[in-house]
Structure formats: structure tokens, C-alpha cells
Amino acid sequence: MNLNNKNILITGGTGSFGKSCINFIVKNFNPKKLAILSRDELKQFELSEDPILKKIKYLRFFLGDIRDKDRLEMAFKNIDLVIHAAALKQVPAAEYNPMEFVKTNIIGAENIIYASIANNVKKVVCLSTDKAVNPINLYGATKLASDKLFIAANNLSGKKTKFSVVRYGNVLGSRGSVIPFFKSFKSKNQKKIPITDFRMTRFFISLEDSVKFVLQSINLMDGGEIFIPKIPSVKITDLAKAIVPNCSFNLIGRRPGEKISEILLTKDEAINTIENKKCYIVTPQILENKKLKKYLIKNFKKVDKEFEYTSALNKELLSQHQIRNRCKKLGIL
């Protein structure tokens, strides 16, 4: 996607994805304005002091919370594209602080939608998670509600503002990732690692790949789609052994709201899903034939009606060796 001369705003812009997205945009494009909205003044200050970013004249920092609709309406003035990455994400924290997650992930999503429509923002993409699919934890349930709000927002905007969702799995090495947790055992030379369930699998994507996929999805989006990348999955035990070779495990049981495996695409969604070599697109249930044809022309095809995309049954399941090599390549190990 060509972001040159565009006014862009990233919510949660001081988080792992936000910082990676900023760096990618700065290296590859020349936008008119790149606004960073977050509620953490320290992280904003630290980001603004980055030697490279300090020289960028089009960067703007907005201190604010997505719970504050008035602040969003002010921040979204003259914005062409909003990338909504702000969210509360920790599964156990959601189980014990449910209303805080509802206020940020659901009411905050509603605020993003109305602020975007009020300011005639052209495109809005919301970052989602595999935990929003068939959720068993509150975090996933709030993100499912958020996804539904963003898809339905296309009915409110009359297509003047287009809303879509990008759904992917865990980000390798991001804040809250299990990798730093495993690395802490390696640094202490401890070989006994706590594991919640030996059967556990997860999808993984690198920060750089997540940023590229989001920008590619923005280029494709026509409003109402859910974009899902084709990414590898890992067994958590293999991930631990890749980081701490010859480790053993202490089985501690699953945490509140934790799944054995994750799902990125359900059988129920398959009927509305198309694919190419790199991704799946869950199209809106009510999709005009001309729009579906547009995708099918671009080397997309319909998936089997019984298809589902899960971390346990994923064809691309990484070995310990592959995990270790990928982590080294990304500078995580």
C-alpha cells in the first residue's frame, strides 16, 4: 500500500506492534502525518527520544485513551487511515478485571468507530486475535465483540468510511510473549520449566510479518472483511526446548481462560471464506457478487465448506530446529 502523503493514526502506537509499524512506515514511506495515540506518557517520551524518530517532522504524539470519545474525535481530524492496535490483552488479567477489558476493548472500539465516521476517515483496520474465535476467556470475548462492531460499522458509515479486521496469532518476542518467560529460565541456568498443558499449541507470527500483512490487508480491503495470514504454529513444549535445550517440565495446569489450541478460522466461517497462497479472507455474509468476483479474479479461490484453521491441525507445524532458527533470525535468541 502506498502511504505517501497520507495522514495516518495508530492507536496503541507505543506497543510492540505500534513501534514496529512506525519503523516500517518511516523506512518505506513519506506520509504527510503519522500520529501516535496512547495513554502511556513515559513510552511516548521514550519513543519520541529515539535518535531516528527524533528527526521525523511528520510524527505527532497524542496522549489519550480510546475510552475517551471526545479525545478520539479531536485526534482523528483530517486522518485518512486509522490502524487500531490499542487493547488490553492479558488473559488472566481479563478474568479478574472483566469490566476494565469491556471498557477498553468493546466501548473503546465503539468510540473508534464513531470518531472515524464523524471525521470521514477513509479506512480503519482493527487488529484482532485468534482468541476471538470460539472464545472461552473474557479477553477473547471482548475482541470478538470488537470484531463484530467493526464489521457492522460499514452499515453505519454508508461506505464513506471502510472498516475491516486483521486476525492473527501470537507475535514472536512481543511484550507478553511466552518467549521472554522461557528465556528467563535459560539466563538463570534453570532446566525445570512450568508448563500448563503438554498438548498446547499456538500460532506464531513475527512483528515484521504482522506489520506487512496489516498494510497489505489495508490495500485489499473494501470494508467488512476479516483478513487472516497463513502462518506456522508450534507446540509449546517444542518452543520451550528450542529456547532452553535439554529442559524438563513441571506440569502446573491451565490458567483461567487458557485454551489447549487456538483457531483462526472456523467451519462456520468457511462458507464465506476465500484464500490465496498467503492468506484467508472471511468476506461479509452479505457480499455483492461483483465484490466477490473482484477477489476471485485476484487469484483467490473458495475454501472447502468443512475447512477450519487451527494451531493443532496446521500443516505448517515448526520443529524445534526451525523454531530456534527463526528466533535467531529475528534476534530473539
Cite the active site residues.
131
Residues near 116 by beta carbon (within 8 Å), at least 6 away in sequence: 76, 79, 82, 124, 153, 157, 161, 163
Question: Going edge to edge, which strands form the sheet with 233-235?
Answer: 170-171, 201-205, 233-235
Strands, E, within the chain: which ranges? 7-11, 33-38, 59-63, 81-84, 123-129, 162-168, 170-171, 192-195, 201-205, 226-229, 233-235, 248-251, 263-265, 273-275, 279-282, 301-302, 309-310
Residue whose grid cell is 483496520? 125
Tell me the C-alpha distance between 110 and 130, whole Å.
Answer: 21
Task: At 125, give phi and psi (nearest 5°).
Answer: -120, 130
DSSP secondary structure string, 226-257? EEEE---EEEHHHHHHHHSTT-EEEE--PPTT
Say if CB 171 and CB 17 are below 8 A apart.
Answer: yes
CB atoms within 10 A of CB 10: 26
Residues 109-124 as b/e (b if ≥16 CB within 10 A, e otherwise) read bbbbbebbbebebebb
